Amino acid sequence: MNDPFRALSHPIRRGIVERLAAGPATVGEATSGFGVSKPAISKHLKVLEETGVVKRVVVGRTHRLSLEPDVMSLAADWMDRQRALWERMFDVVDEYLKEDKPQ
């Protein structure tokens, strides 16, 4: 499954992604301080990995996480297209509302 919106639908996963936006980090660095159990963190990381948003590299006992920019750019591209569509629609409505209507 490759759905970055599913990955970003939970605040803990968004928090992990925000931390990884600064660069790769160990699992502990990327997930500390969320106030949830390790099994819960594991489930969130699983979703991030399954959707392709996060990549894990294991070197010895160290697990390093990093963002996959191509997956995130797909989501950003979709949002940009939607934003442009809605802006055009709002412009049409705005022009309609500005027209002088005979009374």
**Domain contains 103:** no
pLDDT of residue 102: 63
Model pLDDT for residues 42-62, shown as the tens digit of each residue: 999 999 999 999 999 999 999
Domain count, the chain: 1
* CATH number reported for the structural domain that contains residue 86 in this entry: 1.10.10.10
Q: Quote the CA–CA distance of 25 and 12 in Å, as a whole number.
A: 16
Tell me, yes or no, whether 63 lies in a domain.
yes
> Minimal CA–CA distance to 71: which of 54, 53, 56?
53
pLDDT of residue 1: 44
Task: Answer yes or no: is 76 within a domain.
Answer: yes
Q: How far apart are CA 30 and CA 54, in angstroms?
A: 11
Question: Residue 52 belongs to what domain range?
Answer: 4-98
Confidence of residue 99 (pLDDT cuts 50, 70, 90): confident
pTM: 0.75
pLDDT given at position 6: 85
Is 55 a member of any domain?
yes
Greater confidence (94 vs 34) lies with: 34
34 DSSP 8-state letter: S
